[in-house]
Every structure is written in structure tokens, then in C-alpha cells.
Chains A and B, each alone.
Chain A
């Protein structure tokens, strides 16, 4: 505004909003169309899953971990079972590792295609959205053929996998690879050639590399800012050590990096192709052997009951690093404690940087651009029923309370 003082007003995006897949509130302070300031208010979908886990044994918790997220359900159980295997020192058969890798990549294909469709929907490009959902059906079908389920596959277990890749499934996977190599080009064209797509995504929600480092962005969000970070590359797990994986960064493909929504779109679209390559290689090198380290569940439970210690795991989920930490106590059948840090938790911190100087029209796109999974992210909620107040804890207070809780849990 040229004359007088600038009058701003507040617009909430969320918790329920057409452009968002999951409930989170961002309060935009806007001056006309321009965003002056934003406040992120999570807390709408905390479910206390970690607390529930403390009344269950690790095998039961697998199915709980799967329900942290609907899209990256296998990423969560993968990370969880790896943490348990770390705590109990269980080694996984080679064939199971390969099957896990294939599952992870199928899930990445599924997640990225869905995301690309939804991103187009966010700026009104319904045709691309419908195309995305159509393309996604194929991977859903293959996942169903393999596991019996379209989401929450129930494939992973501690010390291995529960479903084998039979020759029929292998044929379906090869068919899937052919299908996407043939059909997915349409999306690549949307990303690189459509003028309106470019106009809507280029220079929107920019996250410079230095800010991506400072605010600990992970996964495709960090890679789109030009950082070569990929756990499949930097600390390979499962079959990734055998398969060459290089982080996909925009500068390798477009020559330069902006760190905007367009780059995030590009990185995800290219990662679909990368995933296809990985699936193909894993399928070729699929070793023979058992599926589980210990197929008898009572025996496995006894093994886990005897285990004592803290297990760590961090894997590259479709959205970034998914870290699980678990504590098993000797003689205690249940999980002592369990901590999940989903990638969205790290990425969401960069929102204020991305929103700087943008417009209302960009807001849902920026929110979606990190592929937020709010139900993955919300791991803590402070509610004071007595006073009914909704004060926000300071960092010091939170740290103090966390330490107290940790000591209490560890029995000190």
C-alpha cells in the first residue's frame, strides 16, 4: 500500500482445506495478495501411537508402525524393524533385503506419482491430477498382487519379509517398469514443457541451499535445493549397497538449481525413473534363500524378549529421512520406548523461508511442495485440560520436560 499504514489480515490455510491432503493450519498474514508472515499450527492429528506401542510387543508394533502413515507405511515399518533388528542384533537374509528394497522403491513410485498429481491439482491443473491418479493405479495393482493390499501392505517383519516375489509377481513388476517408462513421460513433459505449470512453480517457495542446510531439510526437499543428500547413497542399507544410487539434484539435469517448487517437482519426477532402475536391478540380482531370519513367531518373540538395548535406524523414505529409535529391555516383552522422527518434521521448519514474499495463490502449493505427511509428523502434543490454555512451550521448557520424561522412562 502506498498511502497510510499497511493493513494486513489473516487467512487460515487448513486444518481442513481443499488443497491439503492432511490437517495442518498455516495462518497467513496477508497484505492484499502478498504474504507478510506465516504461523504454522500443527496439532490436529496427534494419535499417541508411540504411547500405544508401550503396551505391545515389537511384532504387534509393526502393524502399529505401518499405520503411522498411509502412503509411506512400508518406509515406517522398514525403519522400525531395522531399529528392532539393530537392538536385538538380528541379521536379515539377503533375499529379504532385496524384497524390502523393491517394496521401498515401489512405495516411492506410488508416493511421488501421487504427489505430482496433487501438486498439479493445487494449481487447478485437473487433467494432470487425473493422469497422476490413473498412472498410480498400476503400482497399486502390483502392490496388491504382491501383498494383497493397496495400502498398509503388511509385508515387512522383524528379521525378514512375509511375502515372496513369486515368478508371477516378478512378471508383474517387469510389466510395471515397462508401463511407467512408456507412460510416465507425460508427466515429465508437464514438468518441463507446460508454460502454465512453469509459471506457477518457477521461483515459488524458494529454499536456498544454505537455508536448506541451516533448517535441516531432508529428502527431495533438500535435493531440490541442490544438496546431494540421500541415505541410499550416503549410508546404504538393505540392497542399496549392491545397487548404485546417486542423489538426484536439479543441477545435473537442468544445469542450474533454484530450490523452488519446480525443482521439487522435477526431482520427484526424476526419482520415479530412478526407482524403476533400482527395481529392475534388484529384480535381476534377486538372490535365492530364506525370507526370514526366524520364521517361528514364538521363537522370535523369545529372542526379542531377551534383547536389551537401544536400536537406531534411519532410512530414505519417499519424503526424506525417516528415523526410528527403539529401546528393548531384557525380560520385558513390550517395547520400552519408541521414538519416530518422520521427514516432514524436519522439512516443515523451512516453510517460513519458502513463504517469504510469496502470494496467497502459492500457499497451498508451497505447503504441498515438501509433501507433508502431518500424521507422520505429529509426535507430540501439549494439552492442559485443567486450565484450557493453549500456550506454546518455549524451547527450554520443552527440553526440560523431555529430559524429565526420558529419565522417568529409563527409570533413573
Chain B
């Protein structure tokens, strides 16, 4: 029996990861078109990210002479695999996560952090001053956004715990089974809103997009972290960035927007699963368009110390305010 479940999980996981990669690239294509239209351009074809990755896969992968070869070649794999694994822990609509019992929100944050660390290792292993600067910046950026991220996640878990919602506090399944917005009053709504904004502010830094593409910064340090990568390695890195974007947006949806369309329309059984699965990806798309595409089109790039200050003071303050508001909410009601 357990073997059967294992095989089923393996197949479902494999299918989900393939879907994740395809959707990530597709969403990136849409992201590029929307961004282009906002800038009054036509933009690339919808499938351009696929063409890019396919082209890069067929190209020679150059390893710099001064690179640490194993780390240089290993880092893209590590980054992609850890980013992809996030999908295994996210409940998609009514579908429970494939590895729901094996990992929770804390694991997801670690996986995302590990993916970023892998990029940093790859940058340091490149033996290029640009990549070196890029890696340093990525580390500083990680240290900066981890504070608001940790605040948001721990506050959410604490709220779930105090509200007595059934299920483990840090499990994403618990969040997606019941909308937290319904469990709080207006103070709590304000608090949750602050947390949501703080999390959305972290998204660009996690996914390396303007205004937080400081570690890549092509006009400053020539793509920084990934400046020495080419061919297959670069294809993997491109996939990593797309997948991380999608995964993080999916996490935001699972945390804050678990509203089920299927239940509202009175579906049940397979219909509910299908409708909510599609609905989940639509919500993810909306979050990506608002949180990534619009932001990256509307702003320029921060400098690293400005970004660090932004995350420690403004976003950290916002997350802290959310925390206090929710504490107040729980204390009053």
C-alpha cells in the first residue's frame, strides 16, 4: 500500500514539476508582454521564454578558467531543484500538497533561501569580479528581506494557532483550508493587509526583478551573479528565476487568498478539484501581474544599501505593525 502511495506521489510530483516549469515559462512570457504593453511596446512572442531556454540548452556551456568547476556547474542545478521542490509543498486549490505531511511553510522559506544561496555560491565560484559583487549583493539582500519574511510567516502561524484553526500551525494546508480574513475583525484585517503588503514587497527581491534586481543589475555589474554563465547552465538559471517567481506567487496565494471558486459555485468531487486548481493558477497569475510585472515596470532599481534600509525600516516596520495589530486583535477578541 505504502509503495503504491509512494509511486502515485512520484508520478503526481513529476507531473506537477513539469507543469510548474511550463507554467513558469508561460507566465514569464505573459509578464514580458504585459510589461511591454505598459511601456507602449509590442513585446516578445508569448512563447519567447521557451525559445530562449531551448536555444540556451543547445549552446555550449563555457566554464571560466578561474572558476571552481564543481560549484560553478552544480549551483544552477541546486538552485533549480530547490526552487522546483517548493511546488511539492503548496496546496493548489482543493488539492492537498503532494508532500504536505513532510514539510511546511518553514521548509518552503528555507527552500527559497537555499535556492538563493545556490545562486550566490555559483556567483562566487565564477571567479569574476562582477559575479563576486553580485553574490555579495545577493547575500546582503537576503539578510535584509529575511526579517520581514520571517515576521510575516511567524505572525500568520501564531494567528492560526491562537484562533484554534485545526491543523498544524505552519502547514500551508491549514492556511488554504480556511481564509484567515474571515476569522478577524477590522483591526485584524488591517494587520493582515500590512502583512500582505510586506510579503508583496519581499517578492521582487526573492525573484530578482526590478526594483530589487540588484544582484543582477545588468547596467551596473553585467548580470552580476550570472554574468559568467552560458549555455545549459544559463538555461537552468533562467528556469530558476521563472520558477521562483511562480512559486513565491503561489505561496502568497496559498497564504492570503485561499478563497475557493468551486465551493462558491457549489461544485463538489472532481469538478471542485479541477475548478479550484485552475482558479488557483489564475489567482497566482493575478498576484504575479500585480506584485512583479507592475512593480518592475513602474520603478527603477534601488542601490543595495537603499534596498537593505527599505527592508529593515519600511517593510520591516510594516510587518511589525501587522504583527502588533494582529496581537491586538487576538487580545481584544
Binding site for B on A (CB under 8 A): 9-11, 17-19, 30, 32-33, 120-128, 130-131, 134, 194, 196-197, 199-200, 359-364
The contact of A123 among B40, B222, B301, by CB within 8 Å, is B301
Residue pair A125, B39 in contact (C-beta under 8 Å): no
B41 at the interface (CB under 8 A from A): yes
Instruction: Return chain A residues, CB-CB under 8 Å to B219.
Output: 18-19, 121-124, 364
Alpha-carbon distance A38/B241, docked complex (angstroms): 34
Instruction: Return chain B residues, CB-CB under 8 Å to A197.
Output: 300
Instruction: Return chain A residues, CB-CB under 8 Å to B53.
Output: none
Alpha-carbon distance A130/B211, docked complex (angstroms): 16
Alpha-carbon distance A359/B40, docked complex (angstroms): 33
Residue pair A194, B303 in contact (C-beta under 8 Å): no
Closest B residue by C-beta to A130: B39
Q: How large is the interface on B (under 10, 10 to 19, 20 to 34, 35 or more residues)?
A: 20 to 34
Residue pair B221, A360 in contact (C-beta under 8 Å): yes
Residue pair B304, A33 in contact (C-beta under 8 Å): yes
Report the minimal beta-carbon distance from B210 to chain A, rounded to whole angstroms. Answer: 5
Residue pair A9, B39 in contact (C-beta under 8 Å): no
State whether A196 and B38 are in contact (beta carbons under 8 Å apart), knowing that A11-B133, A125-B301, A362-B303 are contacts in the complex.
no
Residue pair B220, A364 in contact (C-beta under 8 Å): yes
The contact of A18 among B39, B222, B297, B298, by CB within 8 Å, is B222
Closest A residue by C-beta to B213: A124
Residue pair A126, B304 in contact (C-beta under 8 Å): no
Closest B residue by C-beta to A122: B219
Instruction: Return chain A residues, CB-CB under 8 Å to B300.
Output: 120, 123-125, 128, 194, 196-197, 200
Residue pair A127, B39 in contact (C-beta under 8 Å): yes
Closest B residue by C-beta to A10: B129
Residue pair A11, B39 in contact (C-beta under 8 Å): no
B327 at the interface (CB under 8 A from A): no
Report the minimal beta-carbon distance from A1 to chain B, rounded to whole angstroms. Answer: 13
Alpha-carbon distance A125/B40, docked complex (angstroms): 14
Report the minimal beta-carbon distance from B134 to chain A, rounded to whole angstroms. Answer: 10
Alpha-carbon distance A128/B219, docked complex (angstroms): 15
Known: A10-B129, A33-B305, A134-B40. 9 other contacts (CB 8 A): A9-B132, A19-B220, A33-B133, A33-B304, A123-B300, A124-B300, A199-B306, A360-B220, A361-B220
Report the minimal beta-carbon distance from A371 to chain B, rounded to whole angstroms. Answer: 16
B311 at the interface (CB under 8 A from A): no
State whether A126 and B210 are in contact (beta carbons under 8 Å apart), knowing that A11-B130, A196-B302 are contacts in the complex.
yes
Binding site for A on B (CB under 8 A): 38-41, 129-130, 132-133, 136-137, 210-211, 213-214, 217-222, 297-306
Report the minimal beta-carbon distance from A303 to chain B, rounded to whole angstroms. Answer: 50
Residue pair A17, B302 in contact (C-beta under 8 Å): no
Instruction: Return chain B residues, CB-CB under 8 Å to A126.
Output: 39, 210, 297
Residue pair B217, A124 in contact (C-beta under 8 Å): yes
Residue pair B40, A130 in contact (C-beta under 8 Å): yes
Alpha-carbon distance A360/B218, docked complex (angstroms): 12
The contact of A124 among B132, B133, B301, by CB within 8 Å, is B301
The contact of A199 among B132, B220, B222, B302, by CB within 8 Å, is B302
Alpha-carbon distance A121/B219, docked complex (angstroms): 8
Instruction: Return chain B residues, CB-CB under 8 Å to A17.
Output: 222
Instruction: Return chain A residues, CB-CB under 8 Å to B210.
Output: 124-126
Report the minimal beta-carbon distance from B295 to chain A, rounded to whole angstroms. Answer: 11
Instruction: Return chain B residues, CB-CB under 8 Å to A33.
Output: 133, 136-137, 304-305
Alpha-carbon distance A109/B214, docked complex (angstroms): 32
Residue pair B218, A361 in contact (C-beta under 8 Å): no
Instruction: Return chain A residues, CB-CB under 8 Å to B130.
Output: 11
Top 8 nearest A-B pairs (CB, nearest first) are A124-B301, A125-B300, A19-B219, A130-B39, A196-B300, A361-B303, A11-B129, A123-B300
Residue pair A359, B222 in contact (C-beta under 8 Å): no
Alpha-carbon distance A19/B217, docked complex (angstroms): 10
